[in-house]
Amino acid sequence: MAPVPSFPINVGHIDDVQELRKTKPTQIPQRFVRDMSERPKLAAIVPSPNDIPIIDLSKLVGSDRDEQERHIEQLKIACEEWGFFQVVNHGIHPSVTENIEKVAKDFFMLPLEEKQKYPMAPGTVQGYGQAFVFSENQKLDWCNMFALGVEPPCIRNQKLWPSKPANFGETLEIYSREIRQLCKNILRYISMSLDLKGDVFEEMFGVAVQAARMNYYPPCSRPDLVLGLSPHSDGSAITVLQQGKGSSVGLQILQDGKWVPVQPIPNALVINIGDTIEVLTNGRYKSVEHRAVTHKERDRLSIVTFYAPSYEVEIGPMAELVDKNNPCRYRRYNHGDYSKHYVTNKLQGKRTLEFAKIEPKTST
């Protein structure tokens, strides 16, 4: 079973942002208006297309040893210095990424009553609605989410898999299979970049947990007042994010105290390091805080896959990455307990990872 909270929750009334946009296009209810300190400074962001590293996955496969080593080095820098990168030549056929986008968009465009047949119960993370809302006072994101557990089958809530559009389930299955393989490959390259055995994560993770979340951000008449998605790091090992074709630029990552936009590249997928890899690598590869902002005229779709160890697995810094100069910074814990902790707390930067942090013991 996917983790669920064990405390009562009263979230009050949550407006559906697509409906708000349709009926009251210029009104922003107070619950969406952020405190001054949280508001995005949209004018201050200068797009710089080359900032986030781009990794050519076809060069990592290993047919040419020198080339592979050079690209593993690039991956290492991307993980160490950025925690985010875009992969190109990843081998997933464009029809697969186009099809998932199409069914996701078709789903979000259904009448509200149809989408509400698959409600996300307060405090849970599967279905249609807003996740990570736990109180009536909490600010809301300018976003509609539709999220489903995919693998292993025991985390699926089959009642939430929609019957419309008709090919939704089949399309998500095909997409998820391809993304799963991509995650395994990327984790293999990540372990190589750490001078570890290629299959170290695969062996450790057991039957990995995989979940999909589709985020739809309608245009917002006051993008300066709201956030599409609150700042957070992902609880996963790694995350694969597909930015919808023709979507506005919306994803931003926090680097050196500045929000850096991630420019969509056609056919590329965005990969980011999640909290679990941060813990396993003893902080060498860190998860990075990110958020989404909205656009005045344009909507945006993102399709996100979270890939993480099986809930039974015990997690802690790997022995190879702990030594005198790198004392242990995280405790050991059960990954299912972390997942539960993650989904039962609001998104708040990297706060959730406090769960695992310990003061390193310095040697004398």
Ligand X SMILES: O=C(O)CCC(=O)C(=O)O
Footprint of Fe ion on residues 52-91 (CB under 5 A)? none
Name the binder of 188 from ligand X, Fe ion, none, CB < 5-8 A by kind: none
Asked whether 301 and 215 are in contact (CB, 8 A), the reply is yes
Task: Report the residue number, 200 or 307, with the smaller CB distance to Fe ion.
Answer: 307
Name the binder of 251 from ligand X, Fe ion, none, CB < 5-8 A by kind: ligand X
Phi, psi of 339 (to 5 degrees): -60, -40
- Under the criterion CB under 6 A, does residue 290 sit at the interface with ligand X? yes
Q: Where are the beta strands (DSSP E) in the chain?
A: 54-56, 84-88, 127-129, 144-151, 209-217, 229-232, 238-243, 251-255, 258-261, 269-273, 290-292, 300-308, 314-315, 333-334
- Under the criterion CB under 6 A, does residue 103 sit at the interface with ligand X? no
- State the number of binding residues for ligand X (CB under 6 A): 11
Distance CA 156, CA 331 (A): 30
Site string for Fe ion, 323-342 (x = CB under 5 A): --------------------
Task: Report the residue number, 60 or 229, with the smaller CB distance to ligand X.
Answer: 229
Name 360's Cβ contacts closer than 8 Å, sequence gap at least 6: 327, 328, 329
* Least distance between ligand X and beta carbon 41 (Å): 18
End-to-end CA separation in angstroms for the chain: 45
- Nearest Cα to Cα of residue 150 among 317, 2, 289, 337: 2
Distance CA 109, CA 115 (A): 9
Task: Report the residue number, 229 or 269, with the smaller CB distance to ligand X.
Answer: 229
Q: How many residues does the chain have?
A: 364
Task: Report the residue number, 187 or 214, with the smaller CB distance to ligand X.
Answer: 214
Task: Report the residue number, 123 or 244, with the smaller CB distance to ligand X.
Answer: 244
- Under the criterion CB under 5 A, does residue 234 sit at the interface with Fe ion? yes
Footprint of ligand X on residues 292-311 (CB under 6 A)? 292, 302, 304
Residues in touch with ligand X (CB under 6 A): 213, 215, 229, 234, 241, 250-251, 290, 292, 302, 304
Residues in touch with Fe ion (CB under 5 A): 234
